[in-house]
Amino acid sequence: MDLRGNVVDNRKKILAYLLTRLNDRDPQVRLKSIQELADLGDPEALDPLERVFRTDTEESVRNAALAAGRAIFVKQLKTR
């Protein structure tokens, strides 16, 4: 596997890990994962972030999910 393939594979692993952390009991873990998803900027995170926005019990987590989703969406619009 070449370097580019390794980078893509690692990004997928990171994304999968962060998405599982959205279900953590600790809201601080969920918040940190949301921020890292925003930094990663992968559009595959949009649906899970929407789910968090609609269902999480913590307002701060819902607000962070909304902001992260918007940031990822805007980033995707700019790269088209």
Spell out the domains of the chain, with CATH numbers in brackets. Answer: 3-78 (1.25.10.10)
Q: Give the tens place of pLDDT for each residue, 29-77.
A: 999 999 999 999 999 999 999 999 999 999 999 999 999 999 999 999 9
48 vs 38, 68, 71, 72, CA distance in Å? 12, 11, 14, 12
Close Cβ partners of 7 (under 8 Å, ≥ 6 residues apart) = none
Indicate if the alpha-carbon torsion angle 74, 56, 23, 28 is positive or negative: positive
CB 49 within 8 A of CB 79: no
**Residue 3: which pLDDT band, with cuts at 50, 70 and 90?**
low
CB 53 within 8 A of CB 65: yes
pTM for this predicted structure: 0.88
